[in-house]
Structure 1
Amino acid sequence: MNRKTVAVTAFALFSLFFGAGNLILPPQLGFKSGDLWWLVAFGFCLSAVLIPILGILAHAKLQGTMFDFAKKVSPTFSLVYCYIVYAISIALPSPRTASVTHEMAIQPVWDSSYLLTSIIYFALVYIFVVNRSKILDVVGKLLTPGILIVLLLIIGTVIFNVDFVFGPTEFKSPFSHGVLEGYQTFDAIGAVVVGGVIIISINLKDKKASYEIKKSLIRKAGWLAGLGLFLIYTGLIFTGALFHDSFDVDVSRTALLRGISTKTLGNTANLGLSILVSLACFTTAVGIVTGTADFIKGRFNDSKLAYQITAIVGCVLGVLMGQFNVGYIIAVAIPALMFIYPITIVLILLNVVPEKYASPKIFKWVVGATILFSIPDFLGSIGYGDTITSFTSWIPLREYHMGWVLPALVVFVVRNISLNRHSS
């Protein structure tokens, strides 16, 4: 393992997490966070950077697949968890890429509908998924550096040319709002899904590498990738906060990113960013649909028919959801994220801690508590919050939509103490 290998692996991880759709989230967070942008950034980076990188560290430890993350609860639970994650992936983040493409690159130029864009977009996605073209792999390697350069130019221009004046925050709970907005990156789920891909890639490149060498490589690369994500996300939140009085209060996420790009670098750079983001969104959609189709194909004895049917279903769902604007898709995603994200975070953390503190029994109890105490947040996200308030008001952190955190932690500690006493 040398520095070049670490750097290449770190950049690969950074590219996997650096989804173009994620770029529209931090600027608006900053725009609304005002003088408390740093607190919002802390919360956002906790769920959008630290947890995903811990997911990669868990993969470094397991060196397996997504199935291995939850199998200590039970093989059946793990399989159901995998199905849910892939279903959410093709139903929400994949269509969102089409909507982002429409708002960033199509809408400013042509007066066409979201539906037309999504139909053409996912027709092309299907062609690439079925033919498994490697063209996008090559293009993808060029897109991330291109987007990164433009974003660094935007952030640098703002830092050296804009007065550091902030407005008041719009958020009642800036930290928790940042955490929950970080859910929308889907990066913790991405860590569980794509971490296995990195493991496979390393195994193919160097089959003789020992477990410890691969573990050390992924850990170092993971922290480097996390540092890059932290700098970009924090820079974009800071940038958005400095433009608090330059746009209408109800400006959309994509319009804000385009507006900041135009004000800092001009129309030409904005057009370039729009094209780069759109292409990167497309590669993300192809990757999600291909990964889901591969998973289903593997569950049906490598059936090509199962692969094609899954690809069709994924693209049809993309068209159905992609015809809505980005704001609507983000709002629709909240209930699903309130349910699956706490489970994913807990699985990541349990796989990171030493084995003696994370036995199968601990997995079962902690995950069970997480699911139970996530139900109020899930019901609240679909409009039943007032109905159950009298039963759930006692739950700590409930008002911040993180009622599962302390119960999961208490169960983890108490069950470990109980099991240690029993064994001694």
Structure 2
Amino acid sequence: MHKTKEIFINGFALFSMFFGAGNLILPPLLGKNAGNLWIWVTLGFFVTAVFIPMLGILAHARLQGTMYDFGKKVSHSFSLVYCFIMYAICLALPAPRTASVTHEMAIAPYFDSSSLLTSSIYFGLVFIFSINRSKVLELLGKFLTPLIIFILLAIIFVGIFTAPEAVNPSSFKMPFVDGLLEGYQTFDAIASIVVGGVLVVSMNFNTNTSFEEKKELITKAGLIAGFGLLIIYAGLIYNGVLFSSTFGEDATRTEILNSLSYQTLGNIGSVFLSVLVALACFTTAVGIITGTADYFKGINNNSQKVFIITAIIGCLLGIAVGQFDVKYIINIALPALMFIYPITIILIILNVLPEKYTSTTVFKIVVAVTFLFSIPDFLGFIIDTEYLSEIKNTIPFANQNLGWVLPAILSFVIANFIQKKKLN
């Protein structure tokens, strides 16, 4: 009984870690555009926003270390650079996005103030909370997540029974791929590596808890978190489908979520959700800033000065990027995600697979091939040349921004085949 309780407590903790309020704005728009093909979109979104992140937790269950351990089989230098890039992306994109979501959902509908003012006050408070490591955030986290889940479930269930009959046709040509790539924007796979390790280390294990027992606890907690994410994401996508005819053609992600909450729960429900989302965004931002500052403090002889400098840089970046609207931040995030997400997915999968198939050589070859074939996807969002188009036309699935998938699988099979030959 005690063990089951512990599994559920850690499962809910993991869920709240992934449950960044910014993610809430992604599924309803997907549903609006998916129309009658919403199941395919949901499956695609599930792969990158739920399944891969849960594999990340399984990898942590096996490694029981830090983010550095994910890439150490490639090389020490690679893992250090990978960690640096991951934290830099977290400071530059998902952290500022929380301020932008807060402005569009909780400030702009009620106050006539600039987004720059919002992001400045917002990250000023984030800095204060990060430096003081206030326990208020822990209290907020305990009550915030259940409240937001309750409101979202209310929106989902009320929406299912009160939605208009008209549903717009799908605007997606490849719904599964569109869902897959939108799942990148949740940053959940990155979160599974960045914050997952912190959570795994901080789990309250007894001193006599064995490695296998820890592994079982982390794995089951991950499954609970994954199931929770799937219910919320699928429900919001489906509501986006059901209410698609009520949204404006150019409605933004935050406008659609606000409209959903208003149409299902009325004005009070909409205001309540806005406030809770703003608070949840704030806890996410503090978590990112503190986690990143902790990492750089750790690799610099636990220097508090480095911690403060990193927190200042993170908050200044937050103010600079957070003043832009959510749609703009999502658009500028795409090239970075096309660059880092394939490598992150491959590192997660390699760390989950049995060790006999994932030697140091296999790690190096597969990661190198993945990096090489993800370059056209990355460049495709920065430059548009005839030469690049020709290259993408020769690589399977490259025009769907998944050109790295087949080469990664083939390199994994070939590297294992060659290794087996050498052993024989």
Q: Which moved more, 1:79-88 or 1:151-160?
A: 151-160
19 and 206 in structure 1: CA distance in 2 versus 1, 3 angstrom threshold: same
Shift of 1:159: 1.6
The reply to whether residue 150 of structure 1 matches residue 151 of structure 2 is yes
1:77 paired residue number: 78
Q: Structure 1's 307 and 86: CA in aligned 2 closer, same or farther, altered over 3 A? A: same
Equivalent in the alignment of 1:394: 394
Contact kept, 8 Å, 1:51 with 1:348, in 2: the verdict is yes
Name the counterpart of 2:358: 358
**Letter of the aligned partner of 2:332 in structure 1?**
V
What stretches of structure 2 of length at least 5 have no aligned partner? none
* Deviation of 1:385 (Å): 5.3
Question: Does the CA-based 8 Å contact 1:9-1:221 persist in structure 2?
Answer: yes
Distance apart, 1:392 and its partner CA: 2.8
How far does the alpha carbon of each residue in 1:246-286 deviate from its partner, in whole angstroms, 9 at most, with x for none?
01110000010000100001000100000000000000000
Superposed displacement of residue 386, structure 1:
3.9
Q: Secondary structure at the match of 2:91?
A: helix
Deviations, residues 193-238 of structure 1 (Å, cap 9, x unaligned):
1121222122x44222100000001111111111111111001000
- The AA in structure 1 aligned to 2:177 is S
Cα distance in 1, alignment partners of residues 144 and 306 from structure 2: 31
Structure 2 residue 373 is the aligned partner of structure 1 residue 373:
yes
Q: Is 1:16 aligned with 2:22?
A: no
Compute the RMSD of aligned alpha carbons. Answer: 1.0
The 8 Å contact of residues 69 and 351 in structure 1, kept in 2 or not, is answered as yes
1:37 corresponds to which residue?
38
Q: Which residue of 2 aligns with 1:311?
A: 311
Tell me which residue corresponds to 1:91.
Answer: 92
Correspondence for 1:260: 260
SS of 2:111's equivalent in the other structure is coil
Which letter maps to 1:73?
V
Normalised TM-score (structure 1):
0.98
Q: CA deviation at 1:170?
A: 1.0
Distance 1:51 1:386 in 2: 33
Correspondence for 2:4: 3
> What is the aligned partner in structure 2 of residue 106 from structure 1?
107
Q: Which amino acid aligns with 1:398?
A: A
8 A contact 1:379–1:385 mirrored in 2: no
Q: Deviations over 1:369-395 (max 9, x none)?
A: 000000000000113354411223110
Q: Is the 8 A contact 2:166 2:245 kept in 1?
A: no
Aligned mates of 1:352, 1:220 — CA distance in 2:
15
Cα deviation, 1:29-75, whole Å, max 9, x if unaligned, reads 00111110111111001100000000000000010100000000001
Q: Give the counterpart letter for 1:188 in structure 2.
A: A
1:55 corresponds to: 56
User: Quick one: distance in 2 between partners of 1:385 and 1:398?
Assistant: 15
**Residue 298 of structure 1: aligned partner:** 298
Q: Is the 8 A contact 2:195 2:291 kept in 1?
A: no
Please tell me whether the aligned partners of residues 27 and 253 of structure 1 are also in contact (alpha carbons under 8 angstroms).
Answer: yes
Aligned partner of 2:236 in structure 1 is 236
Cα shift readout 1:82-116 (whole Å, capped 9, x = no counterpart) = 00000000000000000000000000011111100
Taking structure 2 as the reference length, what is the TM-score of the superposition?
0.98
Match for residue 215 of structure 2? 215
Equivalent residue number for residue 120 of structure 2 = 119
Match for 1:287: what amino acid?
A: G
Say if 1:222 and 1:200 are closer, same or farther in 2 by CA, change over 3 A.
same
Q: Distance in 2 between matches of 1:206 and 1:243?
A: 49
Helix, strand or coil: the match of 2:270?
A: helix
Q: 1:130 & 1:211 partners in 2: Cα distance?
A: 34
Matches of 1:356 and 1:195 in 2, distance apart? 25
Instruction: Check the 8 A contact 2:60/2:197 in 1, yes or no.
Output: yes
What stretches of structure 1 of length at least 5 have no aligned partner?
A: none
**SS of 1:138 mapped into structure 2:** helix
* Equivalent residues of 2:205, 2:214 under 8 A apart: no
2:236 is paired with a residue whose SS is helix
Q: What pairs with 1:181-196 in structure 2 (closer than 5 Å)?
A: 181-196=182-197
Q: 2: CA distance between counterparts of 1:2 and 1:327?
A: 43
Task: Among all aligned residue pairs of Structure 1 and Structure 2, give the percentage whose two residues are the same amino acid.
Answer: 57
Which digits, 9 at most, give the CA deviation of each residue in 1:107-130, with x for residues without a partner? 001111110000000000010111
Counterpart contact for 2:164–2:243, Cα < 8 Å: no
The Cα shift of 1:28 comes to: 0.4
Letter in 2 for 1:22: N
User: Using the alignment, how far apart are the partners of 1:228 and 1:352 within structure 2?
Assistant: 22
Tell me the SS of whatever aligns to 1:108.
coil
Range with greater deviation from structure 2 (156-165 or 258-267):
156-165
For residues 422 and 205 of structure 2, the distance between their equivalents in structure 1, rounded to whole angstroms, comes to 45
What is the rounded CA distance, in whole Å, between the counterparts of 1:206 and 1:20 in structure 2? 33
In structure 2, how many angstroms separate the alpha carbons of the residues matched to 1:180 and 1:48? 9
Structure 1: 4+ residue segments shifted above 3 A: none
Q: Which amino acid aligns with 1:149?
A: F
- Given that 1:376 and 1:385 are in contact with CA atoms closer than 8 Å, whether structure 2 keeps it comes out as no
